[in-house]
Chain A
Amino acid sequence: MANAKHTGHTHRVAVTGLGVLCALGNNPEAVFTRMLNTDTGIRALTRFPSDNLQCSIAGELEREQLAALMSDEATASMDSCARYAIAAARQALGDSGLVIQSFNRNDDGLESGYQSMTSDRIGLALGTCNGGILSLEKQWDLTALDDANTANYPFYQQGDDAAHALGLNGPVITINTACAASGNAIGYASDMIRWGMADAMLAGGSDPLSHSVFAGFNVLRALNPLPSSPFGSRYGLNLGEGAAFVVLERLDKALQRGARIYGELCSYGLSNDAYHETAPHPEGAGIQRAVEMALNRAGVPRERIQYINAHGTGTMANDQAELSGLRKVFGDTITVPISSSKAYFGHNLGAAAAVELVTSLYAIKQGFVPGTLHYDGPRDGCGNVNIIGEEMPRLNPQYMLSNNAAFGGHNVSLVLRTDSCGTEPHCQSSSKQSARVVITGIGAVGDWGIGQGGVLHLIGGSSSAEDSDAGGKAPFSLKEYDKSKYERRMNKIAQYTIGAALAAIENAGLTESALADIGFIYGTSRGSTESISRFLGSVFEKGPEYASSIYFPHTVINSIAGKTAEKLQLRGFNSSLSTGGNEGITAALYAAGMIREGSLSVCLIGAGDERSELSDRIDQAKGLHASRYAMTEGSACMALASLDQALSSGAKIYAELLGFGTAFGAAQHTTDGDVLLCAAIAEALIQAEIGMHDINLVLLNSVGRAGETEWEIEVISHMGSQPVPPIICLNEASGYGESFSSMLHLAAAAELVHHGAACGILRQQPLLEGMRIRNVLTVSSSVNGSYSAAVVGERRE
């Protein structure tokens, strides 16, 4: 594979395929035609009754188009979120002309050629606000959930199902940053290509219209009973539904195969408002930081931006705050044409960024940019801005921005070059030396309490507990630990995560003033299932008009990262993701990439889980009751820094993160599964520039179902190293948390490398006696057969 690590060379990223499904149609051309006709897809609601709600219109898919989608038998067992995503992703792939060839059929020569790409070099990033919530709504009773539907609920299930349906084996992720999710997913996907982890990615978002989410927006009085007019006279938003995907591809490969190029994805920025769980920062400070980061990372001066596709929901809180943030970047009077596409097809939540980007790129290819339907002059706070009205103007912008903002305070801004087919280089320097990444702080909260500086002494894998900070078996209470960071009704997972973050920050010696600029990447596969149950319970039991406003903001699972960012004032690059098992390593991979390329110097990473009745039902549905490990809850965080930053600040260095690898779709006890698990490990070793013989210990985060762990150990043991290094799974001692455990294993690896020996911190390992531990390989598996690997080693001189 192309190793992007040492030269710092980064690949450029082209958009070569588009797919969309929304209220205006089920392909980019149809949607464009109706946009050009100033048509809206907002119509009378038919999907569910709107009695006693303040709004009875929405942007639903047209009945025939939905029926066609639902007649696909191959995807019939999946949640609608995945089904919408698959339909849009297939369109995008077809549009790109790329043919995916299974990675293990290289030798039959049938599909070789410029248009083909092997499945291990192409992955998928899906953004979703509500995951498979329709699978719970179908049942409308949380006390009697069945297995088949409940198994389709988790957020990561949507990305995994889509990747599986398309036959992909590259990096797969579900980004859960609510209404910014698909923008973040597209950004993450571009990083995978830039950093050499994939040659192409399908990236987008999906959210079908949900009755309970509609009820949640209704109770917050955010819905407009009339068709919305972003920036104009009518306050409030209309909900939509749909999915959209882009094919992102290495620009050089796209040019080589003569692909149609819609634009070049130059870069993107993320931020967090760190202000409130639903309301945007009133001056748009968060969106301002996301835009500034996107422009800086892309090396594109703001003067080159010739079109901005705004978030523009139409609510009182959003529109003026967003323009206020843009004024800080573009000046008090904004001359760049701006429009919001939301009056065409509604607010598509997690799919919004992708639907808006796909329809903008298609329109630009035809020589137009989207207008702002129903715009009738600026409302208060929206003046002195060049807002495009109802008609789509002819425009060929050199560069465009696409912005989105979310509950939980997450913001995203994408920068695209949209002229000259991306063949001319944009301003980004691509030859700088890449930074080395070290671990400088560890903090964790579990059923043993809170601790820092390591995890082994906490989880009981230790032979001595003399340096333990553990506070006993009582569940961790943030209120008792640090009341200033606690608030009423704070759910358990937010308390654990804030506690673990505080411990990691203290351990890394980071000052409060430094926190505003560091990154924060968090992984959780389920968020607060207790809060989600409380909200859904209010809707299912009392009725949609009695939806609980205080629990609604926690149905989006980026609310955990958002609350942590708010309490700790983490305002920089912020993301929240789900993989169903590999959250810890995936967050580390993402943060390390950002540090290597110089976009961040310090990044906090975290992962967490919460137990609840709903969580237990999901465990059963996902077959986790068959795991040999007890299910547990908690959170672990680590501080990562560039080596230069760590040295200059005098931080303790636990270990260096040397390499990462990932592969999706590894079925146990199959030849393909063997190859994929080995491929994830080999990729990490190659990046680290070491061999299996240099590995002293393997820490394996196994889900632990029957035969699974044995198979994983068997495959790893045969990776060509004699003697085989010890392979240890800590879940026997710590219990298993879908997201938490991979971070615990990574933290344990750092602790062991720092300690240099197993003696004293790892119990009963005769093979490790007297051995100096220099390199630890951490391998993690997901519930659905995704594997991630990370090499944690001594800092090299």
Chain B
Amino acid sequence: MSTSQRLELDEIKSIVKQSLLIDRLELEDISAEEITDDMILFGDGLGLDSVEAFEVMVGMEELFGVMVEDIPAEELKLHLKNVQSIAELILLKHTKGMD
């Protein structure tokens, strides 16, 4: 992973935390600093549920132009595990998109 990609990854992670999770889901009880990269998002950890998962998916499209509709449900669950995996998916989709 190059330095520029790492920088970009960090930037994506911070947008994911603030705009995709806290603002979009109106999480009133946690700050971006408290959401760690590896915090489990659904069920335990941040405690999001299935309805919020769909909001995250729509938000990925709206904020990053990333469509996840074609990804099978089980695989998508792995991508939506934590901030790190979401940011990696976004970066991967962007990289692929540029190819």
- For B50, the closest partner residue in chain A by CB is A279
B52: chain A residues at CB < 8 Å are 549-550
Give the segment of A352-360, A540-548, A592-600 that binds chain B.
A540-548
Chain B residues closer than 8 Å to A277, beta-carbon distance: 51
Chain A residues in 8 Å Cβ range of B29: 488
| Contact indicator A553/B51 (Cβ below 8 Å) | yes
Complex interface: chain A residues within 8 A of B28 (CB): 488-489
Q: Is the CB of A220 within 8 A of B62?
A: no
Cβ distance A259 to chain B, nearest Cβ, rounded Å: 47
Interfacial chain B residues near A253, Cβ < 8 Å? none
User: Does A365 have its Cβ within 8 Å of any Cβ on chain B?
Assistant: no
Structural contact, A546 and B54, CB atoms closer than 8 A: no
B66 within 8 A of A: no
Partner of A489, one of B26, B50, B58, B62: B26
Q: CB-CB < 8 A to A552: which residues of B?
A: 51
B51: which of A54, A542, A545, A549 is its contact (CB, 8 Å)?
A549
Q: Which residues of B contact A489 (CB under 8 A)?
A: 25-26, 28
**Cα A277 to Cα B29 with chains together (Å):** 21
Residue of B nearest to A548 (CB): B55
Partner of A550, one of B55, B61, B62, B69: B55
Residue on B nearest A279 in the bound complex, by CB: B50
CA distance in complex: A542, B55 (Å): 14
Which residues 367-424 of A have a CB within 8 angstroms of B?
none
| A54: nearest chain-B partner, CB-CB | B69
B65 to chain A minimum Cβ distance, whole angstroms, is: 12
B28 to chain A: closest CB distance in Å? 6
Residues of B within 8 A of A542 (CB): 62
Please give, as numbers and ranges, the residues of chain B lying within 8 Å of A488 by CB-CB distance.
25-29
* Chain B residues with CB under 8 A of A279: 50
CB of B23 within 8 Å of the partner chain? no
Chain A residues whose CB sits within 8 angstroms of the CB of B49 once the complex forms: 276
Cα distance A191–B26 when bound, in Å? 43
* Per-position binary interface string of chain B over residues 40-54, scored 1 when its CB falls under 8 Å from any chain A CB and 0 otherwise: 000000000111101
Q: How far is the CA of A545 from the CA of B69 in the complex (A)?
A: 12
B27 to chain A, nearest CB (A): 6
Tell me, in angstroms, the Cα distance from A546 to B63 when the chains sit together: 11
* Shortest Cβ gap from B20 to chain A (Å): 13
Report A-chain residues with C-beta under 8 Å of the C-beta of B54.
219-221, 549
Minimum distance in angstroms from B24 CB to a CB of chain A: 8
Closest partner residue, chain B, to A542 (CB atom): B62
A219-B58 in contact (CB<8A): yes
Nearest B residue to A216 via CB reads B54
Instruction: Looking at the assembled complex, report how far the CB atom of A612 sits from the nearest CB atom of chain B, in whole angstroms.
Output: 16
Contact: B26 with A549, CB < 8 Å? no
Point out the residues of chain B lying under 8 angstroms from A276, CB to CB: 49
Q: How far is the CB of B75 from chain A (nearest CB, A)?
A: 14
- The contact string, 1 if C-beta is below 8 Å from chain B, for chain A 489-516, is 1000000000000000000000000000
Shortest B61–chain A CB gap in Å is: 8
Query: A278: CB under 8 A from chain B?
Result: yes
CA separation between A552 and B51, bound complex, in Å?
9
How near does chain B come to A463, taking the closest CB pair, in angstroms? 40
Cβ-closest chain B residue relative to A550? B55
Q: Which residues of A contact B69 (CB under 8 A)?
A: 54
Q: How far is the CB of A489 from chain B (nearest CB, A)?
A: 5
A226 CB to closest chain B CB (Å) equals 16
Q: Chain A CB within 10 Å — which of B27, B49, B54 has the most?
A: B54
Choose one: A278, A547, A553; the contact of B58 (CB below 8 Å).
A547
Whether the Cβ atoms of B27 and A549 lie closer than 8 Å is: no
- CB B16 to nearest CB in A, in angstroms, measures 17
Give bound CA distance, A488 to B25, whole Å: 9
- Asked if B25 contacts A550 (CB within 8 A), the reply is yes
Question: CB-CB < 8 A to A549: which residues of B?
Answer: 51-52, 54-55, 58
Q: How far in angstroms is the closest Cβ of chain A from B73?
A: 8
Report A527-559 CB contacts with B as 1/0, cut-off 8 Å: 000000000000000100111111011000000
| Contact between chains at A550 and B51 (CB < 8 Å) | yes
Q: Which residue of B lies closest to A489 (CB)?
A: B26
Distance (whole angstroms) from the CB of A546 to the closest CB of chain B: 6
Q: What distance in Å separates the Cβ of B62 from its nearest Cβ neighbour in chain A? A: 6
Q: Which residue of B lies closest to A278 (CB)?
A: B51
Q: Which residues of B contact A545 (CB under 8 A)?
A: 58, 61
- Given A54-B69, A488-B26, A489-B26, check contact A220 B51 (CB 8 Å): yes
List chain A residues, Cβ under 8 A from B50.
278-279
Min CB gap A640→B, angstroms = 33
The docked-state distance in angstroms from the alpha carbon of A546 to that of B62 is 8
The complex places the Cα of A552 from the Cα of B52 at a distance, in Å, of: 11
Contact with A along B2-33 (1 / 0, CB 8 A): 00000000000000000000000111110000
- A550 CA / B52 CA spacing, docked (Å): 6
| Complex interface: chain B residues within 8 A of A547 (CB) | 58
A222 nearest CB neighbor, chain B only: B54
Q: Are B51 and A546 in contact (CB under 8 A)?
A: no
A767 CB → nearest B CB, Å: 50
Cα–Cα, bound, A552→B58 (Å): 13
Q: List, in ascending order, chain A residues with CB within 8 A of B62's CB.
A: 542, 546
Q: CA A550 – CA B69 in complex, angstroms? A: 18
Q: For residue A483, which residue of chain B has the nearest CB?
A: B29
Residues 30 to 62 of chain A near chain B (Cβ within 8 Å):
54
Closest-by-CB residue of B relative to A220 is B54
The residue on A at minimum CB distance from B27 is A488
The contact string, 1 if C-beta is below 8 Å from chain B, for chain A 273-301, is 00011110000000000000000000000
Report the Cα distance A545→B59, complex, angstroms: 11
Residue of A whose beta carbon sits closest to that of B54: A549
Smallest Cβ distance from A274 to chain B, in angstroms? 15
The smallest C-beta distance from A749 to any residue of chain B, in angstroms, reads 39
Contacts of B27 in A (CB 8 A): 488
Q: Would you list which residues of chain B between 45 and 94 have a CB under 8 Å from chain A?
A: 49-52, 54-55, 58, 61-62, 69
- Would you give the shortest CB distance from A225 to chain B, in whole angstroms? 11
B residues within 8 A CB of A219? 54, 58
Residues from chain A with a CB closer than 8 A to the CB of B26 are 488-489, 550
A279, B54: Cα distance in complex, Å: 13
- Expressed in whole angstroms, the minimum distance between the Cβ of B8 and any Cβ of chain A is 25
Q: What 0/1 pattern do residues 709 to 743 of A give for CB contact below 8 A with B? A: 00000000000000000000000000000000000
- CB contacts (< 8 Å) of A548 on chain B: these are 55, 58
Cβ-closest chain B residue relative to A221: B54
Bound-complex Cα distance A488 to B29 (A): 8
| Complex CA–CA separation, A278 to B53 (angstroms) | 13
A291 vs B79: C-alpha distance in the bound complex, in angstroms?
40
A547–B25 CA distance with the chains assembled, in angstroms: 13
Binding site for A on B (CB under 8 A): 25-29, 49-52, 54-55, 58, 61-62, 69
Since A549-B51, A550-B25 are in contact, a sample of 14 more A-B pairs with Cβ atoms closer than 8 Å, ordered by chain A residue number, is A219-B54, A221-B54, A279-B50, A488-B25, A488-B26, A488-B29, A489-B25, A545-B61, A546-B58, A546-B62, A549-B54, A549-B58, A550-B52, A552-B51
A-B contact pairs, 16 of them (CB 8 A): A221-B54, A276-B49, A278-B51, A488-B28, A489-B25, A545-B61, A546-B61, A546-B62, A547-B58, A548-B58, A549-B51, A549-B55, A549-B58, A550-B25, A550-B52, A550-B55
> Lowest 6 A-B CB distances belong to which pairs?
A549-B54, A549-B55, A550-B55, A489-B26, A219-B54, A549-B51
